Chains A and B, each alone.
Chain A
Amino acid sequence: DTSLAEVNSFSTSVPISPSSMINQYKFEDEPELRDLFITVDDPESHITAIETFITYRVVTKTSRGEFDSSEYEVRRRYQDFLWLKSKLEEAHPALIIPPLPEKFIMKGMVERFNDEFIETRRKALHKFLNRIADHPTLTFNEDFKIFLTAQAWELSSHKKQGPGLLSRMGQTVRAVASSVRGGVKNRPEMFIEINDYVETFSQKINVLDKIAHRIYKEEREYFNEMKEYGPIHTLWSASEEDIADSLKGVASCIDKCCKATERRMAGLSENLLPILHEYVLYSEILMGVLKRRDQIQGELDSKVDALANKKTEKDPFSEEIGKLEDKVECANNALKADWDRWKQNMQFDMRSTFTNMAENNLRYYEECLATWESFLASQTVDLHVEEDSEDRP
């Protein structure tokens, strides 16, 4: 139990922006059937003798019967999210568990807890919980429910139950070992296809992520130069008489376009960048889940091979093999269904985020166009007084 020696709030607990709330409603299936609403906000830093960490407020609103109350508010730290993710992976090895934001960002991080980093993480954690809430199977997971509803001490004591860290590590080692052995050579056609897809997808999404970041960087550098560009015209206008107004007009246009560039950049960082990054993480998760499926298959295959080598005494193994065959079939079906679901979501997400990106750029050019057109109108006003005043909106 951590004693809260100091609590600093990073921001006034501003609720999630309306636009991202709407995005939540666009989440796959029928929004009217949603009966679980989760928000992650209000990061606070906690400083103790041993460590500094951040907690986030998780608010849940639900109409489900299995929840004792209709509203919950708890505080969770990143560690808790990690715990939840590993419990879900444990319980549903053949399902695609949504990605968590990374533990650390390697490059360019001076302070572990700068505002930008925390905000990016908060948004990703919010996404994470909502993806689980929308998953037909994961949404009913018991650990998920406890995560959303338990008070801090309840969660701590619940975490201590179940297989310890060492035994879980042992499981992972065995899993890696068995995946090396088998499962790959008898991989069904369908999963070979999926594997090939995931490999290519992973490559492409990583490149796209880099391109998007590069574009953001270039736009920022452009913005920095533009900031200096406008004021020079204002400075010049001070030495002029006749053309002072025109110069000031140009300065004002450039400044407005500068602000439009800022909004363009914000649009990128609010939408495209987080989504692409989420799918970069998703591609790693997909490779993981395919490996786990192969490993389950590997267990069956190695038992079958072992049986084939013993010509006699088939009976004691057949029950075991039967169980394994069921396990494989379950895993395959679960993964196939989840894969189809993931693909549909991915398509939806890509479509909406790239469309949004195009709209963002459209808006930028429309704003700049309006600025320059109104300047142009003001310059030719001496020549066409009546016509212009009719044309101007």
Chain B
Amino acid sequence: MEDCLAKKMEITVSEAEKRTGRNAVNMQETYTAYLIETRAVESQSEGQCAPVDSLWRRYSEFELLRNYLSVTYPHIVVPPLPEKRADFVWHKLSADNMDPDFVERRRIGLENFLLRVASHPVLCQDKIFYSFLTQEGGWKEMVNETGFQLKADSRLKALNATFRVKNPDKRFTELKHYSDELQSVISHLLRVRARVADRLYGVYKVHGNYGRVFSEWSAIEKEMGDGLQSAGHHMDVYAASIDDILEEEEHYADQLKEYLFYAEALRAVCRKHELMQYDLEMAAQDLTSKKQQCEELATGTVRTFSLKGMTSKLFGQETPEQREAKIKVLEEQIQEGEEQLKSKNLEGRDFVKSAWADIERFKEQKNHDLKEALISYAVMQISMCKKGIQVWTNAKECFSKM
């Protein structure tokens, strides 16, 4: 298999900058621009670093790229973008898009998105993606010229429409069910995690109140003074430690969020299959009814009730020439229809094959990433406990000297 882009090129989203400009309706707006830096990976023996290329992109351009990829590769589980607006926020975090912490986490998320695409065996070869990384001017026009927007509208309709599919591939039905469950359980988890973080913050910060009171109390004590004072200092340290702890946890939350959004991408692939299958079933149905019509006209028997049949009965039979003409048209249509059905069948089977291959790839990636995320969560908890042990050991020593 050909090496994916990620192995040939270093990609980073290294900076974020606030900009003001004019939007589509000529109103002034503030937005954040992100600096994408790329550098070809040279072999070590060269000893030189290749020059860094860079260009600025804003979030809406990332969105355009992703939409293009989703429409152009409907059988691929396309990596998701980081959230547009801050969600699952606990009280200390800001819900403001311009907040520096949010911008920072989004920068990391966008870099992660680019790396995901660049390491995907199929997506990394896309020219539009490559231009996104390397060509600053005229990229938007390039994307629009592909005409993907037309397909995009019908795709959007497909995702939202409800229709009944008679014979879907059971694997896709199960997978769609799974993606719904995954979305539901991860969003529940993130919500509760935010509340837990809020409460944990409260516990740590209230301990900070000890510091000031111990200090004031130590002023009137002779023997206990030193012990109180130094214990108070450790209480301050304890209270302050929660900020870093929770900041680290935000990265864990972001990892889960990625898979929350991945679940949607997974669902989209399942829906595409359903749409194709429905299309196929409709085409087959149409073909069958045309064949029937043809047969009826040819043999003169009316097996099924039709308005046309009734009107022709009421208003007189057609002439044989008219009937012949109709049969000819139908036969042409039937032939066309059979060819279309054949190609749709082929398309459907190809889609199922390639989609399922990517889904297997995705499953492996998901299991690996989530297991690592859970492990990193455990590591974070361990670090928090060790910090707690240190602080309270110190505090205990101070108290025992009171």
Contact = CB atoms under 8 A, between A and B. Distances in A.
Interface of A: 196-197, 200-201, 204, 207-208, 211, 214-215, 218-219, 221-222, 224-226, 228-229, 232-233, 235-236, 239, 242-243, 246-247, 249-250, 253, 257, 347, 350-351, 354-355, 357-359, 361-362, 364-366, 368-369, 372-373, 375-376, 379-380
Given A204-B220, A355-B400, 16 more contacts: A196-B220, A201-B217, A204-B213, A207-B209, A232-B185, A232-B188, A239-B181, A239-B182, A243-B370, A351-B227, A358-B395, A361-B388, A366-B385, A368-B385, A375-B378, A379-B375
Contacts of B224: 347, 350-351
Contacts of A380: 375
Nearest to A375: B378
Contacts of A229: 189, 192-193, 196
Nearest to B212: A207
Interface stretch (B76-84, B103-111, B200-208, B308-316): B200-208
B202 to A, nearest CB: 4
A225 B196 contact: yes
A372 B378 CA distance: 6
Given A215-B203, A354-B402, A361-B388, A369 B210 contact: no
Complex A-B, nearest 10 residue pairs according to Cβ-Cβ distance, in ascending order? A358-B396, A365-B388, A369-B385, A222-B199, A354-B399, A242-B367, A204-B217, A218-B202, A351-B402, A355-B399
B371 interface: yes
A207 to B, nearest CB: 5
B195 A225 contact: yes
Interface string B327-361: 00000000000000000000000000000000000
Most chain A beta carbons < 10 A, residue from B193, B200, B203, B395: B203
B185 A215 contact: no
Contacts of A235: 185
A362 B377 contact: no
Given A229-B193, A253-B378, A375-B378, A218 B203 contact: yes
B392 A232 contact: no
Given A218-B203, A235-B185, A365 B374 contact: no
A228 B378 contact: no
Contacts of B182: 239
B389 A247 contact: no
Nearest to B221: A347
Contact of B367 (A221, A243, A365): A243
A200 B202 contact: no
A200 B220 contact: yes
Nearest to B386: A369
A204 to B, nearest CB: 4
A163 B11 CA distance: 93
A368 B236 CA distance: 22
A214 B371 CA distance: 37
Nearest to B401: A351
B71 interface: no
Nearest to B382: A372
A362 B234 CA distance: 13
B371 A207 contact: no
A250 B256 CA distance: 14
Given A239-B181, A239-B185, A368 B203 contact: no
Contacts of A239: 178, 181-182, 185
B317 interface: no
Contacts of B375: 246, 376, 379-380
A206 B210 CA distance: 12
A226 B200 CA distance: 10
A215 B371 contact: no
B374 A246 contact: yes
Contacts of A369: 382, 385-386, 389
A376 B209 contact: no
A366 to B, nearest CB: 6
A247 B370 CA distance: 9
Contact of B220 (A201, A215, A224): A201
30 contacts: A196-B220, A197-B220, A201-B220, A204-B213, A204-B216, A215-B203, A215-B207, A218-B202, A225-B198, A229-B189, A229-B193, A229-B196, A232-B192, A239-B181, A242-B367, A250-B374, A250-B378, A257-B381, A351-B224, A351-B399, A354-B402, A355-B396, A358-B393, A358-B399, A365-B386, A366-B389, A368-B381, A372-B382, A379-B374, A380-B375
A380 B375 CA distance: 9
B223 interface: yes
B22 to A, nearest CB: 46
B402 to A, nearest CB: 4
B379 interface: yes
A357 B395 CA distance: 10
B69 interface: no
Nearest to A198: B220
Interface string B168-193: 00000000001001100110110011
A101 to B, nearest CB: 24
A214 B399 contact: no
B175 to A, nearest CB: 11
A173 B180 CA distance: 77
Contacts of B192: 225, 228-229, 232
A362 B395 CA distance: 10
B87 to A, nearest CB: 17
Contact of B189 (A200, A236, A257, A355): A236
Contacts of A257: 381
Nearest to A358: B396
Contact of A211 (B186, B213, B374): B213
A366 B395 CA distance: 15
A219 B196 contact: no
A253 B381 contact: yes
Nearest to B397: A358
Contacts of B382: 369, 372-373, 376
B396 A359 contact: yes
Contacts of B223: 347
Given A204-B217, A351-B402, A365 B193 contact: no
Contacts of B207: 215
Given A197-B220, A232-B189, A211 B206 contact: yes
A222 B210 contact: no
B268 interface: no
Contact of A242 (B371, B379, B402): B371
